[in-house]
Amino acid sequence: MNGKWAMHIVLLSLHGHRACVKGKHVLINEFRGRLERKI
């Protein structure tokens, strides 16, 4: 179910720590929002 998200997170982490740190909060918020919508 979360295979695509896992790949996405791995790619982001490999893309760059700086970009990852800046995008982490946005990603987490967006991820939570999508989970809430599904549930």
Percent helix / strand / coil, the chain, rounded to 5: 90, 0, 10
What pLDDT is recorded for position 19?
A: 64
pTM value is: 0.35
Asked if 19 and 12 touch (Cβ cutoff 8 Å), the reply is yes
Residue-by-residue DSSP string for 1-39: --HHHHHHHHHHHHH-HHHHHHHHHHHHHHHHHHHHHH-
Number of domains the chain is built from: 1
What pLDDT is recorded for position 36?
A: 86
What pLDDT is recorded for position 5?
A: 82
Q: Which residue segment(s) compose the domain that 15 sits in?
A: 3-38
What pLDDT is recorded for position 26?
A: 85
Write the pLDDT tens digit of every residue in 1-39: 578 888 887 877 776 666 657 677 888 888 888 888 876
What pLDDT is recorded for position 20?
A: 55
